[in-house]
Structure 1
Amino acid sequence: MQVQFAKPRAARRPMRRSALAASFALAGLVAIGASPLAISSAAAADDGKAERPMLLAQASSSDSTEAAKSDVKVPEAEGKVDVEKLMAEQALPDIVIGEADAPVTIVEYASMTCSHCREFHESSYPQIKKDYIDTGKAKLIIREFPFDPRALAAFMLARCAGDDAKRTAMVDVLFDQQPQWAFSNQASAELLKISRLAGMTEDQFKACLNDKELQKKVVAVQQAGEKDFGVNATPTFFVNGDKYAGALGAAQMGAVIDSHM
């Protein structure tokens, strides 16, 4: 028997905590039978090095890039939170992408089944990483805010993938391949394919999804984001404590980061 994950809606909407908790309580979330899950030969041959599509803007000249930046208005923040509280220890350790001492900290609350989150990571993140994260100007922390059982399972598998670099790579691939697993009638089989590319065995896959303690910690991160910082939709970003909801474009996010430099 395969895991029966409830299929998420294509459009992501804010979900109240009560509904979210109820969805996590579905008995089918981690109930995996003994039968092996089929892995296609094509997936087995994949090297797992999926890359996000790169923006055409990356091919433009530096002069054009700077001119484009000057034309972008800094989006208005929806509010500000206490940075010390935001950066306090979470139920799961934060994984920092970039230099730990970067002057600008971006905290993103995301759901792995959120189409807008995928849009940001495909269309905006590569440019932000190139211009700001790789240059030491900013760092990114992705925190779990699952809206449904599939997103919860995906985040759990990313945490089980290994060290910080493997968790980051797993999140990348999960976003890249979101259409294949998030809206599939065979979600468990598709997630197993991705997990195997990360070096996970089927037994490790099952053990991860049956890890009740990890499940509680992922939910605790989500609940803290909602209760302490008012997160009710994904993606939601906090840039040095300033709150922005929605998938900001690369130029918009760049303008926000520049305003904190």
Structure 2
Amino acid sequence: MNVRRRIAFAALLAFASPVTPGTALAQSAIAAAVAKPVSLPDIAIGSEKAPITITEYSSMSCPHCAAFGQNVFPMLRSKYINTGKVRFVFREFPLDIKAAAASILARCIGKGDSEKYLGAVEMLFKLQDRLMAQTKDTLIYVGKQHGMSEQDVKTCEEDQAQFDKLNADQQYAHRELKVTSTPTFFLNGVRLQGSMSFEELEERIRPLLKK
């Protein structure tokens, strides 16, 4: 059994194990810590009354995050978010300064609109290789595609207050939620680390909808 299969099997066993009162309490505490408002406004889509909340911590420089965004998220959105079953929260956990700069740009593009923000993220993920190799030019290009001038992008990237909030949120995630890598997901308080296929994610969603 290779490492990936062992990890997947262990996760499946953990998921299938009976939930003890202590475990349920711990999950409740984690869920509350995840739901706690952070420095930057949450990027959230889906019904606030949805029975399931999935919070993803992601880095714009993470290939697995890009793969999830391009291959899994559209199906998750179509089947569960748009139908009111899942509320999805996207949070930044930049692994390097390039990812942080990309996150800040997406914030500037979104201007508080989650859909606009996620549209920028989608483009940044598609251009991830270019972003890593030619960061400044790629940020300017993505900005221009969303109506920003080169000066707008420069002003955005010089907003130290935004970077400070981003850093504070990342430190909170690391300290309180034990996020150490991307992508990391919280499914109603259950932490799931690493990339997942849509089928693997759906296996975890379905039992929660039956409760």
Which TM-score bucket, shorter chain as reference?
0.7 to 0.9
**Matched ranges for 1:233-244 at <5 A:** 233-244=181-192
* Number of equivalences: 187
Residue of structure 2 equivalent to 1:191? 139
**Structure 1: which 5+ runs fail to align?**
1-72
**Matched ranges for 1:87-236 at <5 A:** 87-161=35-109, 162=111, 163-182=113-132, 184=133, 186-236=134-184
Post-superposition CA distance 1:183-225 (Å, at most 9, x none): x1x2101111011101111111011110000000111111111
Distance 1:132 1:236 in 2: 19
Deviation at 1:164, TM superposition (A): 2.4
Distance 1:122 1:176 in 2: 8
Say if 1:74 and 1:124 are closer, same or farther in 2 by CA, change over 3 A: farther
**Structure 2: which 5+ runs fail to align?**
1-9, 16-25
Contact 2:30 2:190 in 1 (8 A): no
**What code does the residue aligned with 1:173 have?**
M
Deviates more, 1:249-258 or 1:163-172: 163-172
Contact 2:182 2:194 in 1 (8 A): yes
Post-superposition CA distance 1:73-98 (Å, at most 9, x none): 98345x84521221011010112121
Q: Which has the higher contact order (CA 8 A, sep 6+)?
A: 1
**What code does the residue aligned with 2:117 have?**
R
Pick the structure with more helix per residue.
Answer: 2
Give the fraction of aligned pairs with identical amino acids, expressed as a percent.
34
Distance 2:56 2:114 in 1: 16
Contact 2:33 2:177 in 1 (8 A): no
Deviation at 1:121, TM superposition (A): 1.2
| SS state at 1:124 partner | helix
| SS state at 2:98 partner | helix
Post-superposition CA distance 1:18-37 (Å, at most 9, x none): xxxxxxxxxxxxxxxxxxxx
Q: After TM superposition, what 4+ stretches of structure 1 lie above 4 angstroms from structure 2? A: none
| SS state at 1:135 partner | coil
The normalised TM-score by structure 2 is 0.84
Post-superposition CA distance 1:133-176 (Å, at most 9, x none): 11111011111100101000000000001222211111111112
